[in-house]
Amino acid sequence: MAECELGELSKKASSPSFIFKAPRELRRVNESAFEPQIISIGPYHPGKPHLEAMESQKLHYLDSTRQQPEGLELYIDVYMSIEQFVWDSYAEHDLKKRDEFGAIIVLDGLFVVQLFRKVMDPKLREENDALFKQNLNLSIVAEDLLLLEKSTSFSKEALIFFSETEPRQIGMLYEDDLIPMLYKEEIIIRNDEHLLGLVHDNWIPRQPQPKSAPFHIIETSGLEETNSQTSLSKKRQQAEGNRKKSPVRKVKRRVPRLVIRSATELSERGIKFRKISECCLFNIQFKRGILYIPTLIVDHDTDRMFRNLIAYEQFKHDISIVMDYAKFLDCLINYANDVALLCDCGVIENRQGSNEDVAKMINKLNEYVYLCTENFHYSPIFIEVNRHCGRQLTLWTVKLRQKYFNVPWSWVLASISAATLLLILSFLQTIFSALSYFNQSAR
């Protein structure tokens, strides 16, 4: 079976590139988000001084490969079978010599294969293996493997053909402490993408969540019937089927603005926020004045992860869910008090630092990012939220409640009790005064 799959891959000489360098504009916002921290994987970042320490670790894994029954020759044969496919996978080639490119790919691919094997089978780990002695280094390596510019297609192909691993086990390298927002119910591997694409595809569920009931609305301005609980799998099916469908009757539509108010402003207008237990981070719902949002864990690697996934979607062109989600967050969060409100509601779990730092990070995610207004994933929710805020009666009700009824009930009851007591005392004083007057008159 492996030979058959290798044969199919070898025929993909004309396949388009899918491992790119990050666009200059995105790099300008945060250069470090696309730079490796500890290890160079692939041909885009070789020879940088701060990455040299891990090169000896690669050579150590190479030596251990020579001692295995299959030996190094089998891996080289596999690479030669898919050499053209791997070469075409990269959009740019900094190295002029093809054999030098191949040496880098084989060495890095072997490292990734051995790394995954040792993660899944502790018996294969050597006592002097620095990666497993220092969990911090292993965590950073796992993060570096997911950079847009660092993934090597051969590493994934080799993983498929040699590690004899069930796809679900690949998630062992990316547990909650490494990528806390990764959707991991089912790990699916495709032969035409790198590890970042693997994470992207498995972050988005293939099936809609069964526990969530749809909430339909009709936009009177000409928008077709939509669903406030947007279904990611349905969007994928529609995107894939649009090209095959026959032309339909054109409807003049008003494209909704990609703007909603911040979290604190929405709260002032009566909208509440509730966290929901969802496997998918993107399943956001709005119903009866409440925004239901899965918890986003913000830590030291959140900005890096989002930026690489957004850059990946800029090249993919067929789906933009991460970009749309970043836009949704950018609308909700303007200042630190917006983050504080969402943290209090459980929508955000801040492991990064101050609320102000989180707000600044979110606000920069969509800089130099192109969003398609007509295909914006959260348009139905934005329409309903803006409609809710535009209802004058709702605004008056909220202001009335906040001005006159925003007092704790304990204070209300205490005030009523005190007023009642004063009224009784005043009544008794009046009675005693009257009795005293009549007694004096009788004398």
The string of DSSP codes covering 184-222 is -S-----TTS-HHHHHHHHHS-SS--TTPPP-EE--TTS
Q: Which of 188, 178, 11 is nearest to 85 (CA)?
A: 11
pLDDT at position 95:
55
Question: pTM of the predicted model, to two decimals?
Answer: 0.69
Give me the phi and psi of 189, to 5 degrees please: -110, 130
Which residues make Cβ contacts (< 8 Å) with residue 244, sequence separation at least 6? none
Alpha carbon distance 278, 292 (integer Å)? 10
pLDDT at position 94:
60
Alpha carbon distance 389, 377 (integer Å)? 20
Tens digit of each residue's pLDDT, the chain (443 residues) = 334 433 333 333 344 566 777 778 888 888 878 888 888 887 777 677 888 888 888 888 888 777 776 667 777 877 787 777 777 777 776 655 777 888 888 888 888 888 877 877 788 888 778 788 776 677 788 777 777 766 555 444 444 444 444 444 445 445 444 444 444 445 555 544 567 777 777 677 554 433 333 333 223 233 333 344 444 444 444 544 443 443 433 334 444 567 889 999 999 888 999 998 866 888 899 998 999 999 999 988 889 889 988 888 887 767 788 999 999 999 999 999 999 999 999 999 999 889 999 999 999 998 888 777 778 889 999 999 998 887 755 566 666 666 655 555 555 566 677 778 888 878 777 887 777 766 666 65
Alpha carbon distance 72, 76 (integer Å)? 6
